[in-house]
Amino acid sequence: MKILMLTPYLPYPLLSGGQIRTYNLLKQLSEKHQVTLFSLIKDTEETKHIPELLKFCEDVRVFRRSKTPFTLRNIAKTAISTHPFLVVRNYVAEVTQAIEQELKRTKFDLLHAETFYMMPHLPQTKTPIILVEQTIEYLGYESYAKQAFPLLRPLLHIDIAKIKRWEKYYWGRADQLIVMSEQDKDFIHQSTSVQNDIAVVANGVDADWFSQKPKLQHTDPTVLFVGTFKWLPNREAVRFLVHEIWPHIRKKIPTAKLHIVGNAPTKEILNFENEYPNVVVKGRVEDIRDAFAVADVLVAPVFSGKGTRYKVLEAMASGTPLVATPTAVEGLNLEENAHVRIGKTGKELAKQTVMLLKSKILRRKLAQASKQFVQKHYDWQSISQQLDIIYRRIGASNATK
């Protein structure tokens, strides 16, 4: 099948959950389908990664959007537009023109859009549209608004209302909506009038790749946090970890260290090194396996957002015991105490972490069980097969029209 895929990022290098997902699915799907990829970039420097993607794509075209989202132009356009800032800052008129030309030149079996805010680029077409929602955007922004500066909240609520309106609109416009979990699917059905079929294609992990780097011997008990800091729930989570969990852990285990790993740490996050003892902010690392290799426990205190957390799947694949909130493991069907230790408050999460740090036997037992679980249920090959079935079903229905 011929597929035209549209993404708000170039799916390489693997710096965010979205990039990891798209790259691995492209890698698997290229064995059965011909994919043309249209991606937005912020900087022409990113074009150096196109050759890696051409291994799996028939063609890769990139379109530059503003490097800094908060430009005067974007803010002004949002103020007079019915579209939210998220759509305005990711809209590039050249993309729509390019898609129209591509559709005239090539008969595609379907269009695949990653995230609802890429949907405005699609022209009117009879070609079936698949929309993949990696998270429910407006819920994340609602969480942010609660913590924002009071004077900003009225403006944020106006923009969130726009996000909510257009996100729901595009859910209905797509011929097939795909979400990350059954919980996301149920939420959409319960909160909207969308009657279209909603499929679940969860995120995955390359368990074999993580197995190639074994754990390294190290002296001090080490706690790990992983997550791209461009995503609001991760910034909230690491802040909660440092303020509400870490002091309790340090009180019980003074020699414990906390490694904070992730792309684009903010100034606030970088300052944690100076404000808290034994905290190391590593930022972006070239090989995430190196971070897991010296970690005894991964803590994921996520309280907002939808979708599947890659940090959770990666920890399990690397054999790193996991302590998390219910939200962090939502939709993964993990068994508490067998695959993950759960906590709802700072003290509970600290207690579970300390328990694991003090017991090598408990860590080994949890790590082995969780690794076997992801190998069985979240391998990219099996995940891609689910998407392949949807591709063929939607493509076949279009062929009979």
So where are the chain's domains?
Answer: 2-204+380-399, 207-377
| Predicted pLDDT at 334 | 96
In the three-class reduction of DSSP (H, G, I as helix; E, B as strand; rest coil), residue 39 is classed as: strand
CATH topology assigned to domain 2-204+380-399: Rossmann fold (3.40.50)
Tens of each residue's pLDDT in the chain, 401 residues: 999 999 999 999 988 889 999 999 999 999 999 999 999 999 999 999 999 999 999 999 999 998 888 888 888 989 899 999 999 999 999 999 999 999 999 999 999 999 999 999 999 999 999 999 998 888 878 877 787 778 888 888 999 999 999 999 999 999 999 999 888 999 998 888 777 789 999 999 998 999 888 899 888 999 999 998 988 889 999 999 999 999 999 999 999 999 999 999 999 999 999 999 999 999 999 899 999 999 999 999 998 876 568 899 999 999 999 999 999 998 899 999 999 999 999 999 999 999 999 999 999 999 999 999 999 999 999 899 999 999 999 988 776 65
Cis peptide before 13 (omega within 30 of 0): yes
Beta-carbon count within 10 A of 205 CB: 24
Output the six-digit token pair for 370. Answer: 């969780």
Judge contact between 387 and 211, C-beta under 8 A.
Answer: no
What is the CATH code for 207-377? 3.40.50.2000
- The closest alpha carbon to 133, from 178, 165, 200, belongs to 178
| Predicted pLDDT at 148 | 74
- Give the C-alpha separation, 115 to 138, whole Å: 12
In the three-class reduction of DSSP (H, G, I as helix; E, B as strand; rest coil), residue 266 is classed as: coil
| Predicted pLDDT at 306 | 64
CA dihedral 353, 229, 243, 157 (to 10 degrees): -120
Tell how strand 257-261 and strand 59-64 pair up: unpaired
Stated pTM of the model:
0.86
Fold agreement (2-204+380-399, 207-377)? yes
